[in-house]
A and B are shown apart, each in its own frame.
Chain A
Amino acid sequence: MRSGTHSVSLPGIAQDSFHYPMNNTEFEAVIGLEIHVQLLTASKAFSSDSAEYGGLPNTQISAISLGHPGTLPRHNKSAVEMAVKMGLALHCDIRKYNSYSRKNYFYADLPKGYQITQFDTPLCNNGYVPIRLKDGTRKQIGLIRIHMEEDTGKSMHDQDLTDTLVDYNRAGTPLIEIVSEPEIRTGDEAYAFVTEIRRLVRYLGICDGNMEEGSLRCDANISVRPRGTTTFGTKVEVKNMNSISNVKRAIDFEIARQTELILSGGTVVGETRGFNALAGTTFSMRRKELVNDYRYFPEPDLPPLILTDQQIEAVKHLMPELPDALYARFTEQYGLSEYDAGVLVDDKHTALYYENLVRHTSNYKAAANWVSVAIRGYLNEQAMGMEDFSLQPEKIADIIHLIDKGVLSHSAAVQKLFPAMVQDPAVSAEEWVQKLNLVQNTDNDFIEKLADEVLASMPEKVAEYRNGKTGLLGLFVGEVMKLSKGKAEPRKTNEVIRRKLDA
């Protein structure tokens, strides 16, 4: 059925494309993603072995995860709960009658010779992932399914000169696999899709989303076709992309490769390809014809998992507020700009910090700036995450309050007070302002005296100003500020200088 020129199962784009004027045919890509999410459960999917990442090889194993004779799997309730959370977050239909299946194949990192997975009754169907591209375009990428399964062990081909070593710590850890509709068209869309998935799993606390360590893994099915056609080209599966930007790079490369191949009269071969991050290229791993018949059949060792409406409802109540809802609330309730709200909800801990902060101050805009500029800037420098930031939101609120009262300038607060408070939060903001001598001076005499000094020291500039070069005002103000060591209140200084120059 598969061989010959009249291929049915693989509608070869190359054959079709003979009918197109090759040189000026525009191609579009059809991309579907499969994302494996390793769930952050304490124990494995079907045993009580620890599922923690990073243990010494083969220390988190037992008769069950090694597939010893006579062992049986057991449901892990928290894995199911986490999978339901993801389904709800992605607007899926949650299946109430779930069964497990066995996917049979032989490989060294698969101790039982089969993987327990869901085949014809995935936990979640339908649903979608909303994505937002850099240019602001929004799009919804549909989902085919989310199903639960167990992970395999990890084969390491580069640890020994002659042998492959296998670490079974990962064998049996719970995964969900999210399968998108082939509705992604570009590397950028794929980037946004995976980013959104990663943000959600982190919000839900079901996965750390670490692609380098493999707790989030992405495979891409990519084909190209002449724009305007509706049949699919021959698809290629690309694996081994260990960061979101590599997902984009691999897809961009693959689209170009396939397009060029077709334009030069070649044929895309259905195969699995790997990604070489160093070279930015994909390479052939295996032909699809050699792929296993997995002989799926219902797992007889596990009774069907039946979920009730009440259970699904209970999981809903355990869910945190998700980024879209937070975004809506931040823009509406706190009047933040779309940009500010977007930056804040990008990371769960940042959004939470902001939420805590605005319990102590009603200057929402200033609070947003503090979190997304000063604090995040500091954390980036320190290579830390928001979850590691130890200064209490109340303390930031104190700083905002002091600025609003005019006690110190914003710049003094950011440059001097904030680092001091991070160093020693036990000292209050007021005390630090005194200690560091940051109180800004609104005293007219003080400012007048400094202004006179400055204007006297630069007569040519004063003349230029008076001849219409009013943009020089900022220079004079800045000089006064400098002389005052940041203590002159800027607005007042502005007033005084303008009055003197216009006099």
Chain B
Amino acid sequence: MKDHTRISEIRADLESGVVTCAELVEGYLDRIDAQPELNAFLEVWADEAREQARRVDSKVKSGQAGRLAGVVIALKDVLAYEGHKVSASSKILEGFTSIYTGTAVQRLLDEDAILIGRTNCDEFAMGASNENSAYGVVLNAADKSRVPGGSSGGSAVAVQAGLCHASLGTDTGGSIRQPAAFTGLVGMKPTYGLVSRWGLLAYASSFDQIGPITKSVEDNALILEIMAGPDANDSTVSQRPKPHYEVKSADRKFRFGIMQEAVEHPGLDPFIRDSVYKLADQLGADGHEVGFFHFPLLDYMVPAYYILTTAEASSNLSRYSGLMYGYRSPDAHDLESTYIYSRTQGFGQEVKRRIMLGTFVLSSDYYDAYYKKGQQVRRIIRQKTEEILGQFDAILLPTTSTPAFRLGEKSKDPVAMYLADLFTVQANLAGNPAISIPWNSTPEGLPTGMQLMCNHFEEQKLYELAKTLEKYK
């Protein structure tokens, strides 16, 4: 099977008859069957994908195919799709089928995308290694003893291992960018409010965004522009008109800002640090402006992020009660025992930890000390980020402090795991768009990612920059 790196190539091959959607789908299905140990998919919609492929093939013939014709896409298991199971990789949603389709998914379908299945992830998107899934770990295809990152680990590995052409992930604190970096892919966390969250099973409502994980910047931009734009179902979506992205390397010179505290962070892998310095030198040599800035708030970001996201999560996850849908404990015998046993048995350890933490920080005795303070820190981070992006076109920083770590390496130490989000949470706290692009490989052959962050709604610039940076890899 030919591996298409661009949607435009698929399109060309479909139109010239070199390949059909049906053949593409069979190819992916074969590969999924061949690598079950990756555990990227929780469910494969094989028959449906075949049927959709036939439908799109005939549309291609009649010249009516949409912009995603032949593009086989996997959905992270937190996206509602009518008539399909969605579980957030949690036992608590056992047996639950969505009765509606979320906006982002619907917009892909409207452009003739072929949805091939739902991918494994950390339970309720809470995690940085995909080890928190109720349905088992996902293996990094670059090194099967290592994690793929998380929470969108299954979505990343599905693309990495060629099990689909692209996938959707969600990013609350790095859940698209970090696995994209660990698997050598392009992962975009759009501006908060660019893509409707209607149909996204909420983890932390004021942080969550849906974004694409792809092999190329071009594909990423196309999928994002199709999903983006106003939606009456989500009042937090911006009313800006639907965007259109032109992805090409720019001739002009840019100003890149590098956070001193990030590159000097003791936890940063030396290889990755050197890559950043090397890139800075190259950019400078080519006439781009590279400046270092101070951001003393770096160490406050992860704590503020965990206070605020767990607070929202503790409320968002209250609906999973064992009453109306999903898992109900066989030990339930009245209302209270239904809540207690269903939630105790239905949620995994990490989810319960975060619900407890969030409940604590919102409790009336601790609200001011934690939640309110967290909000204040968030406001300051937002202001400072805006100030810095007033001086630079983009903030340049590594996506992760290390390459993919070993399975089990951090799973016993939540704080170490939380620090995996060190360089990614800023974009979610401040609402800015950030992209991780595949950068290089460590001597052990592990992929790394380079991250760029721009002002709100500057996705166009971000894609342009990502494209410009490609020649420095």
Q: Which residues of chain A are near B234, meaning CB under 8 Å?
A: 72
Contact partner, B102, options A70, A102, A106, Cβ 8 Å: A70
Can you report 11 A-B residue pairs in the complex whose CB atoms are below 8 A from each other? A69-B201, A70-B80, A72-B234, A73-B235, A102-B315, A104-B314, A104-B315, A108-B335, A114-B315, A300-B206, A301-B236
Binding site for A on B (CB under 8 A): 78-80, 86, 88, 93, 96, 98-100, 102, 197-202, 204-206, 232-236, 311-312, 314-315, 317-321, 323-325, 335, 339, 359, 362-364, 367, 371
Instruction: Judge whether B311 and A297 touch: CB under 8 Å.
Output: yes
| Closest residue on chain B to residue A67 by CB atoms | B319
Q: Closest Cβ of chain B: how far from A269's Cβ, in Å?
A: 22
Instruction: Assess whether A300 is in contact with B318, with CB atoms less than 8 Å apart.
Output: no
Q: Check B324 against A111 for contact (C-beta < 8 Å).
A: yes
Residues of A whose CB lies within 8 Å of any CB of B are: 63, 66-75, 102, 104, 106-108, 111-114, 164, 293, 295-297, 300-303
Beyond A106-B318, A113-B315, list 16 extra A-B contacts (CB 8 Å): A66-B324, A68-B80, A68-B325, A69-B86, A70-B200, A70-B201, A72-B234, A104-B318, A113-B321, A114-B315, A164-B335, A295-B359, A295-B364, A297-B312, A297-B315, A302-B236
Given that A300-B205, A301-B205 are contacting pairs, would A70 and B199 also be in contact in the complex, using a CB cutoff of 8 Å? yes
Q: How far is the CA of A300 from the CA of B205 in the complex (A)?
A: 6
Q: Is the CB of A75 within 8 A of B325?
A: no
Residue of B nearest to A47 (CB): B233
Q: Find chain B residues with CB under 8 A from A75 CB.
A: 235
Min CB–CB distance B314 → chain A (angstroms):
8
Chain A residues contacting B324 (CB-CB under 8 Å) are 66-67, 111
Closest chain B residue to A106 by CB distance? B339
* Contact in complex: B319, A70 (CB < 8 Å): no
Contacts of A69 in B (CB 8 A): 80, 86, 88, 93, 96, 98, 201-202, 319-320
B205 touches A114 (CB 8 A): no
Q: Which chain B residue has the least Cβ–Cβ distance from A113?
A: B318
Is there contact, CB below 8 Å, between A72 and B321?
Answer: no
Residues of B within 8 A of A66 (CB): 324
Q: Smallest distance from the beta carbon of A120 to chain B beta carbons, Å?
A: 11
- The list of the 4 closest CB pairs from A to B, nearest first, reads A113-B318, A295-B362, A300-B205, A300-B206
Residues of chain A within 8 A of B319, CB atoms compared:
67, 69, 111-113
Which of chain A's residues have a CB closer than 8 A to the CB of B339? 106
A193 to B371, alpha carbons, bound, how many Å? Answer: 39
A104 to B358, CA, bound (A): 12
> Cα distance A164–B201 when bound, in Å?
29
Contact A72 B88 (CB under 8 A): no
Q: Are B235 and A74 in contact (CB under 8 A)?
A: yes
Write out the residue numbers on chain A whose beta carbons fall within 8 Å of the beta carbon of B80: 68-70
A residues within 8 A CB of B363?
293, 295
B318 adjacent to A297 (CB under 8 Å): no
- Quote the shortest CB–CB distance from A373 to chain B (angstroms): 53
Given contacts A69-B93, A295-B359, A297-B311, contact A63 B100 (CB under 8 A): yes
Do residues A297 and B100 form an inter-chain contact, with CB atoms below 8 A? no
B450 CB to nearest A CB, Å: 31
Contact of B198 (CB < 8 Å), options: A71, A111, A112, A297? A71
Q: Which residues of A contact B359 (CB under 8 A)?
A: 295
Specify the chain B residue showing the minimal Cβ separation from A166.
B323
Given the complex of chains A and B, what is the CA–CA distance between A208 and B28 in angstroms?
60
Q: Is the CB of B371 within 8 A of A297?
A: yes
Give, as a whole number of angstroms, the nearest-CB distance from B154 to chain A. Answer: 18
In the bound assembly, the distance between CA atoms of A108 and B323 in angstroms comes to: 7
Residues of A close to B321: CB separation below 8 A = 106, 113
Closest partner residue, chain A, to B360 (CB atom): A295
Q: A63-B99, A68-B99 are in contact. Are A114 and B318 (CB under 8 A)?
A: yes
Closest A residue by C-beta to B233: A72
Contacts known (A67-B319, A70-B200); A104 close to B312, Cβ less than 8 A: no
CB distance from A356 to the nearest CB of B (A): 42
The interface residues of chain A lying within 8 Å CB-to-CB of B232 are 74
Alpha-carbon gap, A70 to B234, bound state (A): 10
Give chain A residues whose Cβ lies under 8 Å from the Cβ of B199.
70
Q: Which residues of chain A are within 8 angstroms of B362 by Cβ–Cβ distance?
A: 104, 295-297
CB <8 Å contact, A72 and B364:
no
Q: How far is the CA of A263 from the CA of B365 in the complex (A)?
A: 36
Alpha-carbon distance between A300 and B236 when the two chains are bound, in angstroms:
8
Please name all residues of chain B whose beta carbon is closer than 8 Å to the beta carbon of A74 when the two chains form the complex: 232-233, 235
How far, in Å, is B308 (CB) from chain A's closest CB?
9
Cα-based distance from A343 to B93 in the complex (angstroms): 59
> Does A70 contact B98, Cβ atoms closer than 8 Å?
yes
Whose C-beta in chain B lies nearest to the C-beta of A66?
A: B324
Point out the residues of chain B lying under 8 angstroms from A107, CB to CB: 335
Residues of A within 8 A of B78 (CB): 70
Given A67-B319, A295-B362, also A303-B236 (CB < 8 A): yes
Q: Which residues of A contact B367 (CB under 8 A)?
A: 295, 297
How many Å lie between the Cα of A69 and that of B88 in the bound state?
10
B102 proximity list for chain A (CB < 8 A): 70
A493 shortest CB reach to chain B, Å:
75
With a CB–CB cut-off of 8 A, which chain B residues contact A114?
315, 318
Q: In the complex, which residues of chain A have a beta carbon less than 8 angstroms from the beta carbon of B205?
A: 300-301
Task: Give complex CA distance A72, B315 in Å.
Answer: 13
**C-alpha gap A73/B198 in the complex (Å):** 10
Residue among A72, A107, A302 having the largest count of chain B Cβ atoms under 10 Å? A72
Nearest A residue to B359 by beta-carbon distance?
A295
Tell me, in angstroms, the Cα distance from A73 to B78 when the chains sit together: 18
Would you give the shortest CB distance from B365 to chain A, in whole angstroms?
A: 8
Q: Which residues of A contact B371 (CB under 8 A)?
A: 297
Bound-state CA distance A67–B318 (Å) is 10
Q: How far is the CB of A410 from chain B (nearest CB, A)?
A: 61
Q: How far is the CB of A187 from chain B (nearest CB, A)?
A: 33
Q: Which residues of B contact A295 (CB under 8 A)?
A: 314-315, 359, 362-364, 367
User: Closest B-chain residue to A164, C-beta based?
Assistant: B335
Contact of A293 with B364 at beta-carbon distance under 8 Å, contacts A74-B233, A74-B235 already known: yes
Q: How far is the CA of A107 from the CA of B338 in the complex (A)?
A: 11
> Inside 8 A of B315's CB, which chain A residues have their CB?
102, 104, 113-114, 295, 297
Interface contact B100-A68, CB-CB below 8 Å: yes
CA distance A63 to B80 in the complex (A): 11
Interfacial chain B residues near A303, Cβ < 8 Å: 235-236
Across-interface contacts of B200 in A (CB, < 8 A): 70
Judge whether B235 and A301 touch: CB under 8 Å: yes
Query: Which residues of B are found within 8 Å of A112, using beta-carbon distances?
Result: 318-319
Q: Which A residues touch B204, using CB under 8 A?
A: 300
Residues of A within 8 A of B96 (CB): 69
Q: Is B364's CB under 8 angstroms from A70's CB?
A: no
CB neighbours of A72 from chain B (8 A)? 197-198, 233-236
Question: What distance in Å separates the Cβ of A156 from its nearest Cβ neighbour in chain B?
Answer: 14
A293 / chain B contacts, CB cutoff of 8 Å:
363-364
**Nearest A residue (CB) for B88:** A69
User: How long is the Cα–Cα vector from A268 to B355 in the complex, in angstroms?
Assistant: 37
Q: How far is the CB of A114 from chain B (nearest CB, A)?
A: 5
Whole-angstrom distance between the Cβ of A301 and the nearest chain B Cβ: 5
Instruction: Give every chain B residue within 8 A of A73 (Cβ-Cβ).
Output: 235
Q: Which residue of A lies closest to B80 (CB)?
A: A70
Taking CB as reference atom, which chain B residue is nearest A105? Answer: B318
Which residue of the partner chain B has the closest CB to A112?
B319
B260 to chain A, nearest CB (A): 32
Residue numbers in A under 8 Å from B323 (CB-CB): 108
> Shortest Cβ distance from B94 into chain A, in angstroms?
13
A69–chain B nearest beta-carbon distance, Å: 4
Docked pose: A71 CA to B231 CA in angstroms: 13
Collect the chain A residues with CB atoms within 8 Å of residue B236's CB.
72, 300-303
Bound together, the chains give a CA A149 to CA B202 distance in angstroms of 21
Instruction: Kindly state the separation between the CA atoms of A113 and B342 in the bound complex, as whole angstroms.
Output: 14
Q: How far is the CA of A297 from the CA of B364 in the complex (A)?
A: 10
A72-B80 Cα distance, complex, nearest whole Å: 12
CB distance from B361 to the nearest CB of A (A): 9
Q: How far is the CB of A166 from chain B (nearest CB, A)?
A: 9
A296 nearest CB across to chain B (Å): 8
| Separation of A302 and B320 alpha carbons in the complex (Å) | 21
Q: Which residues of B contact A102 (CB under 8 A)?
A: 315
